[in-house]
Amino acid sequence: MQPTEAIASWHAWLEANPERASTFLDQLYRRQRELDALFAGEPMRTFARPAFLSARQFRLVRDSSQVLLDCAEVVIARIHDDPELRAQIPMGPGEWELLRPCRGLKRQQVIARPDAFMHGERIQYLEFNAESPAAVAWTDLFEQTFRELEPMQDLPWARQTTGSSCQQLLVDALLDSAAAYGIQGPPRVAVVDWREVPTIREHHLVARCFQARGVPAQVVDPREFEIRGDRLMAGGQPVDLIYRRVILGELLARREEPGPAAMLEAMRRDLVCIVNPFITRVPGSKAFMALLSNPRNEHLFTQEQVRMLRAVVPWTRVLGPGPESFDGQQGDLLELARRHRERLVIKPTYSYGGKGVTIGPEAEPAAWEQVIQRAVSEPGSWTVQQYVPIPEEPFPVFEPSFGTTSLKVNLNPYLFGGRYAGAIVRLSQSSVINVSAGGGVIPALTLPEQQAMGVVPIFALPE
C-alpha cells in the first residue's frame, strides 16, 4: 500500500463519519494530558491522522539513517587525531578539550535523530540531532493515542501498520552503555536538564521508563550536582549514568556555577558514564553535514557509504570567505551565497528549535545580505545549505464540516545504540518546522506491503 492510498482511505472514513471524526482532536489532546505527554505543560499541537510510510520508504529511512549514524562514528573516532578534519567543525575556545569519548562504549553516538524531508522514495537529511534530541519518550505515546482512534480499528489495513519502540530501545541502549562502561548491576540514572525547559515532562516520562525496569532514576537539574570524594551526587544520591539532555553550550555558559562545574569535573575525572558524551557535539553541529557533503572527505568512508551520502545529504558548507564550488560554479563562497540566494538556506552552526534559520527563497535580499555579513564577523557560526523543497501533505480539518489543509512535513527517525527505533513527524504551515516554533506532531506508521485495500465501497479511492 502507498501513503497516498492510505491518506485517501483515512480521509474518506472521516468524511463518512463527520460527527464521530470531529471529536478526534479533543480525544487526542485529552489523552496527551492523561499520559503526561506535554510540552511546556500543554498538549502538543496535532492533527486527526497519522503520517504513513510505505514499506519501501521505511526501509529507505532505516538504512539511510543508519549510514549517517555509522559515518558519525567514523568522524568521532578520527577527529582528535586529524587536524584537517577537526578544522572543519568550528568550536569555541576550550571546547575541544571537553570533547572526549566515553570509555568502553561500542558507539559514542548512542542516541540520534536526523531531520529529513522525504519526497516519495527520495530522502534528504538537513541536520543530525546528535547531542540531545528531544521527543524520544513522546513518540510511542503519540502512536498510542492515535491507535485508539476509530479509523485504526475500522480500516483493516490500518490495524496492520507498525510503528515505534522508542522507550524500550532507549532504555536498552542506555543500560547497554552502562554495562560497557563497567557499571555492575542496575545503574543509578540521572536524566539531566534545566528544570525550566519546556520538555521537562518528557524527562520525567523517561525516568519512569527506567523505574518500570527496576532501575533507580531521577530527573536532575545540573545545578543540583556536587562531588563527594570520587562520586557524583544529586539530591544526596550517587549517580552512575547521566542521560544528558542539557546542551553542552548551555552548560558551558554556566560552568562557573557549582553544579555545572561538578558535572564537567565528573566528566574530566571519568566518574560517571555520560550518554550522549560531549564528543557528540561534533556530529550535532550543522558543520557535520558540510563535512559529509564535501568530496574532500569521501576517503573517510566506504564506497557504499559515499554513494548513500551523495544521495541523501544536500550540499552544505560552513559560511565564510574562500574558494568553493556550487552546482558546477566556482567562486568565493560568500559571492556564491549572494548569487544563489533563492537556492540556499543559512542557519546557525550551533542552534536548535529552528532559531535563526533564514530561508533564501523566502528572504528579502537585504535580510540575506545581513546574515552573510554576520557570517563574516562571526567566523564558523553560520552554515549555508542547498534549499530542499519542503514536502506537503493534506491533513483533516473540521471547520465545521470535514475538509483538508496543506501542511509542510518533516520526518525525524530515531536511532538508539545503533538500532532504528521509529520516527516522529512534525508539521507546520511555516517553512521552519519545529515544535518550539509552534509546529505540530504526529506519529509515523509503516503500511503493510502492497495488497488489496480491504475497505468498504464508501471508502473507494479517487481515480
DSSP 346-378: EEESS--TTTT-EEGGGS-HHHHHHHHHHHHHS
Do β-strands 231-234 and 237-238 pair in parallel, antiparallel, or remain unpaired?
antiparallel
Q: Which domains does the chain carry?
A: 3-284+392-446 (3.40.50.1760), 315-386 (3.30.1490)
* Segment 384-405, tens digit of pLDDT: 999 999 999 999 998 778 899 9
Summary mean pLDDT of the chain: 92
Residue type, 56: R
Of the two residues 461 and 62, the one the predictor is more confident about is: 62
Residue type, 192: V
Would you say 242 and 274 are in contact if contact means Cβ atoms under 8 Å apart? yes
d(CA 44, CA 435): 8
Classify residue 100 as exposed, middle or buried by CB count within 10 Å of its CB (0-12, 13-18, 19+). middle
DSSP 98-159: G--PPTT-S-S--EEEEEEEEETTEEEEEEEE-S----HHHHHHHHHHHHTSHHHHHSHHHH
DSSP 55-96: HHHHHHHHHHHHHHHHHHHHHHHHGGG-HHHHTTS---TT-G
d(CA 102, CA 277): 6
Would you say 355 and 249 are in contact if contact means Cβ atoms under 8 Å apart? no
In this prediction the pTM is 0.91
Collapse the DSSP code of 426 into the 3-class scheme (helix H, G, I; strand E, B; otherwise coil) and give the result: strand
220 pLDDT exceeds 60?
Answer: yes
* Confidence grade of residue 158 (pLDDT, cut at 50, 70, 90): very high
Nearest partner of 434 among 42, 44, 109, judged by Cα: 44
Assign 3-class secondary structure to 277-339. CHHHHHHHCCHHHHHHHCHHHHHHCCHHHHHHHHHHCCCEEECCCCEEEECCEEEEHHHHHHH
* Confidence grade of residue 453 (pLDDT, cut at 50, 70, 90): very low
pLDDT of residue 452: 41
DSSP 164-175: --HHHHHHHHHH
Kindly state the cell numbers that stand for 224. Answer: 543540583
- How many other C-beta atoms can be found within 10 angstroms of the C-beta atom of residue 340? 16
* Confidence grade of residue 459 (pLDDT, cut at 50, 70, 90): very low
Backbone angles phi, psi at 219, to 5 degrees: -90, 130
pLDDT of residue 433: 63
Mean pLDDT of 178-186: 96
Classify residue 383 as exposed, middle or buried by CB count within 10 Å of its CB (0-12, 13-18, 19+). buried
* Segment 332-343, tens digit of pLDDT: 999 999 999 999
Kindly state the cell numbers that stand for 384. Answer: 549555508
457 pLDDT exceeds 50?
Answer: no
d(CA 18, CA 297): 55
Mean pLDDT of 50-68: 97
Over pLDDT 90: what percentage of the chain? 84
> Cell 522507550 identifies what position?
167
pLDDT of residue 435: 63
Collapse the DSSP code of 49 into the 3-class scheme (helix H, G, I; strand E, B; otherwise coil) and give the result: coil
d(CA 179, CA 99): 22
Widest Cα–Cα separation across the chain: 72
pLDDT of residue 94: 81
d(CA 220, CA 29): 28
Would you say 74 and 421 are in contact if contact means Cβ atoms under 8 Å apart? no
Classify residue 463 as exposed, middle or buried by CB count within 10 Å of its CB (0-12, 13-18, 19+). exposed
pLDDT of residue 344: 98
pLDDT of residue 434: 63
